[in-house]
């Protein structure tokens, strides 16, 4: 990393500058706009132990998103990497979950910086929720995610995304049962069944899925639940045709949390195996991540694109995914919006097994 592109460049800090409070400049401008939502910390810069200790304390109390970047062969102290929101490093140095291995740490850092600059409110809300991941119970964290999601639904970033997308007609009625169930002894097979909409997690699918899973919740003789999807993919995420159509934001919150699937899947986790294939977007990985076991075909991909819409994962992803891969890599997945391949998902722990068998 050159001197011109490191701590002296826009958006970059050295550990010493972090320790001296440079990241604690006022976050908001006069009218309430966000200034510099994300800063990059040059971890190739050397610092003595006293400076590193102050940098750790500063990182833990910072409102801004802090992403460490290292390109050399010297790993920074684990305590500093853990205090940051993410550290990008060459693949051979990315051991623990607070690191993400990449062949181009600087390029990926610029990508994250651009994403946070484009949707600063969504990015900051995402990072704030992830910092608290695992510190409360699942129910409380789902409530926090949903309340934050409702707040962003009323924000300018999501409104601009809706305007760019343009109006869309509501999805047509389901031509067949949106969810199929089959009971065999102690096994319950649950299949998302709207392949014509790539099993999008709209209201019809959500309600039918909750109804199917309630069978297991109410019947202890259901020892094993298999959850999969018909058609080209397990689930393509929330149905975009329904985005922004809730009658009001408070109602949307209660529907997401009390009529949604996340709490129920968490409750049943020890009995649920999710079998994934195709492009699993948004809810298509947020919900399966609650399952006790996740199996995916080798060509499966995973993506959390919501920040690009001015939102955050809203089907439980800030709760379920960090419990599998850690808050740091979850930030990379959600802020970058890029697809994650199945072998990397397996290495990170997002899934538990690769299976070459064709989907059911």
String of DSSP letters for 127-153: HHHHHTTTSS-HHHHHHHHHHHHHHHH
Q: Model-level pTM?
A: 0.94
User: CA-CA distances (angstroms) from residue 44 to 7, 40, 88, 89, 162?
Assistant: 10, 12, 11, 10, 41
Which residues partner with 34 through β-bridges?
Answer: 28
Q: Quick one: average pLDDT of 207-224?
A: 96
pLDDT band at 5; cut points 50, 70, 90: very low
Structure tokens at 25: 């400049």
Which residues partner with 191 through β-bridges?
Answer: 180, 228
**Among 169, 170, 165, 195, residue whose Cα is nearest residue 180:** 195
**Among 293, 242, 237, 238, residue whose Cα is nearest residue 265:** 293
Taken in order 22, 24, 29, 30, the sign of the CA dihedral is negative
Report pLDDT for 359: 52
* pLDDT over threshold 70, residue 252: yes
Which residues partner with 99 through β-bridges?
Answer: 87
Beta carbons of 90 and 103 less than 8 angstroms apart: yes
Report pLDDT for 173: 85
At residue 112, what are phi and psi to the nearest 5 degrees?
Answer: -65, -40
Report pLDDT for 307: 98
Q: Quick one: average pLDDT of 106-124?
A: 96
User: CA-CA distances (angstroms) from residue 89 to 102, 152, 248, 303?
Assistant: 6, 31, 43, 21
Beta carbons of 145 and 286 less than 8 angstroms apart: no
At residue 325, what are phi and psi to the nearest 5 degrees?
Answer: -120, 0
Q: Any idea what the Cα angle at residue 239 is, between residues 336 and 272, rounded to 5°?
A: 80
pLDDT, tens digit, 9 for 90 and up, residues 162-181: 999 888 787 788 889 999 99
Spatial distance between the Cα atoms of 26 and 218, rounded to a whole number of angstroms: 52
Say which residue the tokens 């991540």 belong to.
Answer: 289
pLDDT, tens digit, 9 for 90 and up, residues 24-76: 999 998 788 999 999 999 999 888 999 999 999 999 999 999 999 998 767 66
The side-by-side arrangement of strands in the sheet containing 301-303 is 279-281, 301-303, 340-341
């Amino acid at each position: 990393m050159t001197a011109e592109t490191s701590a002296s460049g826009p958006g970059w800090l050295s550990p010493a500058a972090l320790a001296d409070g440079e990241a604690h400049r006022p976050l908001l401008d006069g009218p309430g706009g966000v200034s510099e939502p994300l800063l990059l910390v040059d971890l190739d810069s050397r610092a003595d132990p006293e400076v590193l200790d102050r940098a750790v304390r500063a990182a833990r109390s910072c409102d801004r998103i802090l992403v460490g970047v290292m390109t050399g062969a010297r790993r920074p102290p684990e305590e500093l990497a853990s205090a940051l929101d993410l550290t990008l490093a060459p693949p051979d140095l990315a051991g623990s979950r607070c690191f993400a291995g990449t062949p181009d740490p600087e390029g990926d850092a610029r990508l994250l910086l651009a994403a946070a600059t484009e949707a600063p409110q969504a990015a900051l809300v995402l990072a704030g929720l992830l910092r608290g991941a695992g510190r409360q119970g699942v129910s409380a964290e789902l409530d926090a995610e949903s309340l934050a999601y409702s707040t962003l639904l009323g924000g300018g970033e999501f409104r601009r995304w809706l305007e760019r997308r343009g109006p869309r007609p509501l999805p047509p009625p389901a031509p067949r049962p949106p969810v199929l169930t089959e009971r065999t002894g102690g096994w319950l097979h649950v299949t998302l069944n709207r392949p014509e909409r790539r099993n999008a997690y709209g209201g019809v699918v959500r309600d039918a899925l909750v109804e199917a899973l309630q069978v297991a919740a109410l019947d202890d003789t259901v020892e094993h639940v298999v959850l999969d999807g018909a058609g080209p993919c397990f689930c393509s995420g929330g149905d975009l045709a329904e985005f922004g159509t809730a009658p009001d934001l408070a109602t949307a919150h209660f529907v997401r949390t009390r009529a949604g699937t996340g709490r129920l899947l968490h409750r049943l986790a020890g009995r649920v195996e999710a079998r994934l294939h195709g492009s699993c977007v948004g809810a298509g990985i947020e919900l399966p991540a609650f399952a006790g076991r996740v199996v995916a075909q080798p060509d499966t991909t995973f993506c959390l694109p919501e920040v690009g819409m001015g939102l955050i994962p809203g089907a439980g992803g800030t709760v379920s995914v960090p419990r599998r891969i850690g808050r740091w890599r979850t930030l990379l997945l959600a802020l970058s919006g890029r697809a994650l391949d199945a072998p990397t998902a397996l290495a990170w722990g997002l899934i538990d097994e690769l299976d070459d068998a064709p989907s059911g």
